[in-house]
Copies of this chain bind each other. A is one copy, B any other.
């Protein structure tokens, strides 16, 4: 069909009203499943609307108090850290799946840091842009819950721990502590006594949970060669830390990486330093993705269903928007997929 440069006006309720021979209000009632019109009229109006390809103008809807039919998602990452990260795209795509069903839009924004993120929330709120937001990367000392409370913006925190102080927020989280405990348990069983955890960003709630749990598990077993080192999640830092610990006097026999990218980088460094995986050092990636099957040996990884995580979060948010109570829901603990990068400790 050749491009027709026609005006292409959007049909409005007035058009429908005229064609159906009723008032605008009747159309509104009919289209919104409200009492006030007969079934016959409702059907007729529906038919005309369909025929005209009518869709409610979100602007008008929002103006008359119905909310913006949009939820917000802010990713606070320094631009250059936005690397190879399958998690967020998958999360978002799960979120979308749920939102799309309800014709909710997703307003997305990448910013540099939390301060900017807060500014974005304020702006969105003042501009009536979103009805609620999804918050990721909760921190141990996080200004966002307070802000959202203050603004009265419904929100779901993704990956946070249950938070008593903000009863208005829903939380969707995975039990990192449990997962860490089971990983350590597994490694201990394989004879590993010196374990280094190459963690993610310090200050992130789940990073801290993992670190705390690792420390607790170590203490419980009287292990001394166990530590966590925080990084910025980049391959560069992952590699650097790996190099450092493997070169130490008593190198660890097992490495736990907080994401797949660092695990991969770590394996490369290990190879370079003459460490064989898993004979000399075992490696576990706390994130499963295609990457883990792209190196030799294949990486054992904690696998979770990120899309489902997103779906769950989105469902909680829609529930909140529907006036439901805030809830805390726990998604399944990530499952350790044992591949080739983990084995018995050499000196066991």
Task: Give residues in A with beta carbon < 8 Å to B.
Answer: 1-8, 10, 53-63, 65-70, 73, 77, 79, 82-86, 88-90, 92-93, 96-97, 100, 103, 105-111, 122-123, 125-129, 131, 146, 149-152, 154, 165-166, 168, 234-236, 261, 264-265, 268, 271-272, 289-291, 293-296, 307, 321-323
Of the A-B pairs whose beta carbons lie under 8 Å apart in the complex, a sample of 30, sorted by A's number, is A1-B67, A2-B154, A3-B149, A3-B150, A3-B166, A4-B152, A5-B149, A8-B151, A10-B128, A53-B126, A56-B127, A57-B128, A59-B61, A60-B128, A63-B63, A69-B127, A82-B86, A83-B86, A83-B89, A84-B86, A85-B86, A85-B89, A105-B109, A235-B290, A236-B290, A261-B294, A264-B294, A265-B290, A265-B294, A272-B296
Q: Please tell me which one of the listed residues B5, B55, B84 contacts residue A126 in the complex, with CB atoms under 8 A apart.
A: B55
For A97, what are the chain B residues with a Cβ–Cβ distance below 8 Å?
A: 79
CB pair B79–A6 under 8 Å, yes or no, is no
Give the nearest-CB partner of A268 in chain B.
B294
Give chain B residues whose Cβ lies under 8 Å from the Cβ of A55.
123, 126-127
B110 touches A108 (CB 8 A): no
In the bound assembly, the distance between CA atoms of A92 and B92 in angstroms comes to 13
For the complex, give the distance between the alpha carbons of A1 and B150 in Å.
10
- How many copies of this chain does the complex contain? 2
Contacts of A122 in B (CB 8 A): 53
Are A5 and B88 in contact, with the CB atoms below 8 A? no
Q: How far is the CA of A2 from the CA of B322 in the complex (A)?
A: 7
Cα of A322 to Cα of B1 in the assembled complex, Å: 7
Distance A262 CA – B129 CA, assembled complex (angstroms)? 40
Q: Which residue of B lies closest to A3 (CB)?
A: B149
Least CB distance from A88 to B in Å reads: 7
Leading 7 A-B pairs by shortest Cβ distance: A59-B62, A55-B126, A2-B323, A4-B152, A108-B108, A3-B149, A93-B110
Contacts of A293 in B (CB 8 A): 235
CA distance A100 to B109 in the complex (A): 8
Provide the residues of chain B in CB contact with A85, threshold 8 Å: 84, 86, 89
Q: Is B4 within 8 A of A154, CB to CB?
A: yes
Q: B146 and A1: CB pair below 8 A?
A: yes
| Interchain CB contact under 8 A, A92 and B105 | no
Given contacts A2-B323, A8-B152, A82-B89, 20 further A-B pairs with CB under 8 A are A2-B322, A3-B149, A3-B165, A4-B149, A4-B168, A6-B150, A6-B152, A55-B127, A69-B127, A82-B86, A82-B93, A84-B291, A89-B89, A92-B110, A96-B109, A105-B129, A107-B108, A108-B108, A234-B290, A265-B290
Task: Enumerate chain B residues within 8 angstroms of A271, measured Cβ to Cβ.
Answer: 296
Kindly report which residue of chain B lies nearest to residue A132, judged by CB atoms.
B1
Cα–Cα, bound, A57→B8 (Å): 26
Q: Which residues of B contact A53 (CB under 8 A)?
A: 122, 126
Query: Which listed residue, B3, B65, B92, B146, touches A3 by the CB 8 Å rule?
Result: B146
Q: Which residues of B contact A290 (CB under 8 A)?
A: 83-84, 234-236, 261, 265
Query: Are B307 and A295 neighbours in the complex by a CB distance under 8 Å?
Result: no
Cα A37 to Cα B125 with chains together (Å) = 29
Specify which chain B residues have a CB less than 8 angstroms from the CB of A59 in the assembled complex: 58-63, 68, 128
Q: Is the CB of A84 within 8 A of B84?
A: yes
